Amino acid sequence: MAQEVRLDVLGEPCPYPLVMAKQKINQVAPGGRLVVDFDCTQATESLPRWAAEAGHIIEEFVKIGPAQWRIVIRRQGDAAERIRPEDYHCTIPSER
């Protein structure tokens, strides 16, 4: 298992950033980091929500371009992440 895994899902539509992040976190050693670069607006809510619900730590969540973001997730625990049918359902982020 790696201490850091990078995932570039720029250009990938929802739900792929979430689905691919759940797959890649399994390659990260407990205490290691998953760095995800994405431009899917829905993922600005789905990625941090999943990370928090799974008990992982969000170390960084920043805008890196006009419509691009980076989230850095520190893996907690050693349980394998599983993709669920509801992961394939996308919602539009609420207006703020």
Which of the residues 5, 7, 9, 14 is marked catalytic?
14
Q: Is the pLDDT of residue 94 over 70?
A: no
Q: pLDDT by residue (tens digit) across 74-93?
A: 999 988 888 888 888 776 66
Indicate the SS3 state at residue 22. Answer: helix
Catalytic site includes residue 90: no
Confidence (pTM)? 0.89
Backbone CA torsion sign across 61, 12, 16, 22: negative
Helix 16-24 and helix 43-53, axial crossing angle in degrees, nearest 10: 30
The whole-number pLDDT of residue 93 equals 62
- pLDDT tens-digit profile of 11-61? 999 999 999 999 999 999 999 999 999 999 999 999 999 999 999 999 999
Q: Which two tokens stand for residue 3?
A: 């201490």
Residue of 79 and 70 predicted with greater confidence: 70
